[in-house]
Amino acid sequence: MRNKRTLTLAALSIGALMLSACGSAGGTAETPASEGASEDLATTINIAISQAPTGYNGNTASTNSVYNTYVDNLTSAGFAAFTAAGELEPNTEFGTYEKTSDDPLTVKYTINEDAVWSDGTPIDFDDVLLTWAALSGTHPSGETDPETGEEADIFQAASTNGFALMEKIEGEPGAKEFETVFSEPYADWEALLTPGTLMPAHIAAEQGGMSPEGDGAELVEAIQADDIEALKPVAEFWNAGWNYEVDLPTLPDTALLPSSGPYKLDNAVNGTLTLVKNDQYWGEERAGKTDTMVFKTIVDEEAVQALQNGDVDVIDPSSPTVDTKAALEQIGENVTVDTGTSLTFSHIDLDQRPGAVFEDVKVRQAFQACVPRADMVDKFVTPIDPEGTVMNLREYQPGQPDYDTVLDGAPAAQGDGTADIEGAKALLAEAGKTEPVKVSLMFASTSQLRADMVALVKDSCDKAGFEIIPQPEAEWSAKLSQPGSWDAVIFGWSGSGLVASGESIYISEGAQNFGGYADEEVDRLWSEIVTNTDEEQVVPLKTEMEQRLAETQYNVVLYANADIIGYSSKLQGVELNPTQTGITWNAYSWTKQN
């Protein structure tokens, strides 16, 4: 799956987890059809996605996937949405917001009076309050996490970034206006209530045994009273009740899946998900232009053929290869091809918990030394994007304005990516390793690219004193949070460009810190970063953090993925989007000539 950044929530993709930068993304201004285009428009547009959506609620640790975001872009609304440039644009069709105080940070929100779920239920205060409850990490279950020793929350959120700093929201059932007050400043406050974040409280309440009547009064009262026992059934449904079966053979009862966006879920069959226009949608600018949008799950290796055959109208492969580009270009004038560098980057995470293979920092450093990062760029990136290069930072990517500045200030992160076999051997010797270090390297079994990358790692690192054991997994993302089920895992994070979105990936006990990394200095730096609203201070703080992450070898960063899309020349409105938002960021505005 493609990973997103977390709430910034994380998202998974064959190569990438979704960092959840607080919310998924929506659309911006609609793109007009070309001049003189015929009004003979198709009623259906087919979109290829590399992996099937995993759930209606993409805010949980197990469902925070970019492929859920691709759907959320059409079925969910929020106060702001991400553009293709990674910038936030207010969505006044949904509502308005205004910062009314800096000390404490206070924001006033007003939901559009006409805003309703697709089942006709008003979108109002109970929806907002449930979102806060689920994503704030303030509802302890009374049970201890066997791995961390920490008390678990009844809501299994992918990330609590931002919401954890938000005080309990005050308001009345049915209210369309509310204020959020923060205990500390939060850098990405505008990105908290974006598409994909708000879930229908009336559904969760009813499925949790509460009455949805009175504008959700029973649920509102339980949250305001911190009634954990009453909320547990609601949390159980929020955590898993909206999940889909593996590979999406069908949808749950669509009555449980109301939409707040211009489209609503209609049906699913064998990985094909169909959306239809939401007849209750109140907006005009973001109203759907095409009657039906169909998402078809097609592995990257078959996507180009599907486009050429007319089975789909647009493809956005999660892990494109040079063969992908060549095949697209051979189709001819019937297809438009756009390429560039995405904000998704590939990396290898390492299990470094006590007793794990990579507990010793010298073993982690040895692995970094033997991974042939430069060779990977030459084989998998530059044939598609000639500007591609080895990536040495985690919060900044080559091509972003501050990348070189931060890298200059983080010498431990510098390097050309050439494998250093002798250096790796020396580090393993210092770690006292006299026998080959066995490493089970997990990757998506559906991705030939990942298989090829693992083969390169094995060929190089086996010479340095490791024994790499390829571990292809169809459900690799489900295993990420299972300690001991892998030693290393190769995938990708899809960046948001937000300041605080990556926090839960790197901090101790972070929801997306799958390898169990823990460093007090990194934790301290993140606490300063997320509460800093002065942009000039962010770069120095992140420079310190990048230096520390490199010194302690958090993981092995590989490269920023090349991005390529192909779409039928009959489509209007499609625009390459390098961010975690995905190609469907403005799909409500797409049209197709018959």
Average pLDDT on 148-167 reads 88
What average pLDDT does range 455-466 have in this prediction? 98
Whole-number pLDDT of residue 208: 98
Which domains are assigned to the chain?
A: 77-232 (3.90.76.10), 344-561 (3.10.105.10)
Question: How do residues 85-135 score in pLDDT, each as one tens digit?
Answer: 778 899 999 999 999 999 999 999 999 999 999 999 999 999 999 999 999
Render pLDDT for 123-132 as a digit per residue (tens, 0 to 9). 999 999 999 9
The model's pLDDT over 174-230, given as tens digits with 9 standing for 90+, comes to 999 999 999 999 989 999 999 999 999 999 999 999 999 999 999 999 999 999 999
Per-residue model confidence (pLDDT) at position 10:
34
The answer for residues whose C-beta is within 8 angstroms of residue 520's C-beta and 6 or more apart is 508
Query: Which residues does 1 contact at the CB level (< 8 Å), separation at least 6?
Result: 11, 12, 13, 14, 16, 17, 18, 50, 51, 54, 65, 66, 67, 318, 444, 477, 491
pLDDT class for 22, splitting at 50, 70, 90?
A: very low
The pLDDT value recorded for residue 448 is: 87
Distances (CA, A) of 586 to 114, 358, 565, 572, 575: 22, 42, 15, 11, 8
Q: How confident is the model at residue 147 (pLDDT cuts 50, 70, 90)?
A: low
Res 149: pLDDT: 67
For 314, list phi and psi in degrees, rounded to 5.
Answer: -150, 140
For the chain, what is the mean pLDDT?
A: 90
Full 3-state SS string of 489-547: EEEEEECCCCCCCCHHHHCCCCCCCCCCCCCHHHHHHHHHHHCCCCHHHHHHHHHHHHH
Confidence (pLDDT) at 148: 59
Percent of the chain with pLDDT over 70: 92
Confidence of residue 159 (pLDDT cuts 50, 70, 90): confident
Q: Tell me which DSSP letter residue 222 carries.
A: H
Q: Each residue of 365-424: pLDDT tens digit?
A: 999 999 999 999 999 998 888 888 999 999 998 878 899 999 999 999 999 999 999 999
Structure confidence at residue 327 (pLDDT): 93
Helix (H) or strand (E) holding 571: strand 571-572
Residue 88, judged by CB atoms within 10 A of its CB (0-12, 13-18, 19+), counts as: buried
CA distance 411 to 545: 12
Asked if the model's pLDDT at residue 539 lies above 90, the reply is yes
Q: pTM value?
A: 0.80
Three-class DSSP category at 582: coil
pLDDT at 343 over 90: no
pLDDT in tens, 482-534: 989 999 999 988 766 788 888 989 999 888 899 999 999 999 999 999 988 78
In the structure encoding, which two tokens stand for residue 85, read together?
């440039």
Instruction: Report how far residue 297's alpha carbon sits from residue 320's, in angstroms, rounded to the nearest whole number.
Output: 16
How large is the average pLDDT for residues 532-538? 84
Q: Do 308 and 148 form a contact (C-beta atoms < 8 A)?
A: no
What band does 23 get if pLDDT is binned at 50, 70 and 90? very low
